[in-house]
Structure 1
C-alpha cells in the first residue's frame, strides 16, 4: 500500500499509526521506520519525489521524538534527515536556519544521550570542547559523533552571515579529525570529504590549505571506491578551481557525468551530483 496516495490510503496509514502507539511497541518500530526511511531516501532516483514527500516524514519523526526524546538512534536519524533535506532542497535562508537549528539540536541530544559529560559541549571553550571529543573513543559513538559534525557543518552554512557561527568551523574539523583517527572508513570516508572541504574554504593567503584538502579528497575517493560522485564534484569545485587546474576540474566532472548514478546508498546524492557537474562544466570557461 502506498501511504502517499490520497483518500483511503491516509485513513489506513493513520489507523496503523494509532495502533503502533497504543500497542506499546513504538520505540522499536519507530527506530526501524526512521532507519528504513533514511535508506529509502538515499536510494531514491527521483529528486522531486523526495522533495515532495520528505517534509511529512520529518514532521512524523518529530512526533516520534516527543514520545521517546532520548532515543539515540531516533535522534541520529532525525538529525540526518533534517540535515540532508536542508542541504539538497532548502534555498530560503530563514527556512534553512530553522531546519539546521533543529538538526543541530537533535544531533547534540544524540551525543548527550549516553554521555552526560558531552551534554554542554557546545558552551565550552575550544580546548575543553576538544578534550570532550577526544575522550569519545568507543566505536558505538561514531554514528552520533559523525551526525553531529555533519549537522554542525550544515548549521554553519545556514548561518554563514554570522561570524560567530563561522568561527565554529574549527569544532567541526575537530570532530571529523577524531573520526578519521577512530575509523576513517566510516560512511565511506565521509570525514575525509568534510576535512577536504574545510581545508579549501579559504585561499592559502587567508589560511587555506589546498594540498591538505587534496589529500583528504583523494583519500575519500579511495575509501569510497568512487561510489560517491558528489565527492568528485566537491573536489573539482573546492580544490581544482582554487588552484586553477582546468584539466583536473574537467576530468573529475566528466567522470561524474559518465558514471552510473544508481549505486546503493548514493543514488539520490549521485543524481544531484550530476546536475551540479553539468552546471560547473557549463560555466568553466567563465571561471578559468
Structure 2
C-alpha cells in the first residue's frame, strides 16, 4: 500500500467508523469527546493524519451544531477545527475563503451567546467594539481567542480585500485583551499574533518592528523556548524585515534542534520545523 492509498484508506475507514458511532450514540460528540478531539489534534506529530481525518470530524460537528445551535462548546470546537484545517492544509484560495468564513461564523455565534452587541461586527464602530471586548473576563478567554484567531484566518484568506484588512485593528484589540487577561494562555500565542500584526510593515512605513520583536520574545519566554512557531515568526517577520541574517539563522536552527513534542504544541511545532527548513533554504536568496 503506497502513502496516498494509505491516506485514502484511513480517511474512508475513519469516516465509516464515525458514522457508525453517530448512529449508535449521537451525543458522544459533545463534552469530553470534543475536548479529547482538540487535544488529539494539537498533540499529533504527523500532520498528514490530521489532514486525512479532520474533514470527517468537521462533518459531524456541522451536523451537531445544526441540531444544537446554542451549544457554545460545539461552536468553539467547530470554529477551531475549521480554522486550523483551512489555515494549514488548504491551498486553494476559493476553498480557504469558504472554510475560514465558516470558522469565523461559528466563533461569532459562540461569542454572540455571551455578548449580543458583537453579533453584527460590521455595524459596531471600533471604539464600541473595543469597549465591549474589554468587558470580557477570563472565563470567556477560550471563546475570545477562538474568535480572534478565526477572524485573523479569514482576513488572511481575503488579503486582497481592503475591507477585510480594515478588520485588523479589531483583531489586535482582542489579542491585547487576551494578554491582559492571561498572557500565558495557549503558551503565549496572543503575543505571537501581536508580533505578526506589528511587523507587517517596516518602521519607515508605520510598522512597529521593535514592539513586534518584544511580543515574539515574550511568547518565547513564556513557553521556555518551546513554542517554536514564535521563533519561526520572529525570524520570518522581524529578522527578515530588518535584514538580520545572524538572528534569522540562529532562531531557525534552534527550532530544528528542539524536540517538537510538547502537550498542546506538538502539531504546531512540527509544522514550525517544516517552515524553518524552508526559510533556511531560501535565506541566501533573500539576504
TM-score range, shorter chain: over 0.9
Q: Counterpart in 2 of 1:18?
A: 23
Give deviations 1:40-83, integer Å, cap 9, x for gaps: 11111111111111111111111111111111111111111111
Establish whether residue 161 from structure 1 lines up as the match of residue 166 from structure 2: no
Give deviations 1:145-169, integer Å, cap 9, x for gaps: 1111101110000000101101111
Q: Counterpart in 1 of 2:3?
A: none
Quote how far apart the aligned CAs of 1:117 are. 2.8
| TM-score, length-scaled by structure 2 | 0.92
Question: Which is worse superposed, 28-37 or 201-210?
Answer: 28-37
Give deviations 1:69-127, integer Å, cap 9, x for gaps: 11111111111111111111111110000001000000111111122233223421111
Quote how far apart the aligned CAs of 1:132 are. 1.2
Quote how far apart the aligned CAs of 1:13 are. 4.3
Change beyond 3 A, Cα 1:6–1:218: closer
Q: Counterpart in 2 of 1:273?
A: 272
Root-mean-square deviation (Å): 1.8
CA distance in 1, matches of 2:237, 2:216: 10
Q: Counterpart in 2 of 1:106?
A: 106
Give aligned pairs, total.
Answer: 279
Q: Counterpart in 2 of 1:242?
A: 241
Establish whether residue 190 from structure 1 lines up as the match of residue 189 from structure 2: yes
Q: Counterpart in 1 of 2:284?
A: 285
CA distance in 2, matches of 1:168, 1:11: 40
Q: Counterpart in 1 of 2:173?
A: 174
CA distance in 2, matches of 1:5, 1:158: 26
Contact persistence 1:149–1:172 (CA under 8 A): yes
Unaligned ranges ≥5, structure 2: 1-8
Contact persistence 1:34–1:78 (CA under 8 A): no
Establish whether residue 37 from structure 1 lines up as the match of residue 37 from structure 2: yes
Change beyond 3 A, Cα 1:259–1:162: same
Give deviations 1:230-260, integer Å, cap 9, x for gaps: 1111110000011111111000000011111
Q: Counterpart in 1 of 2:118?
A: 118
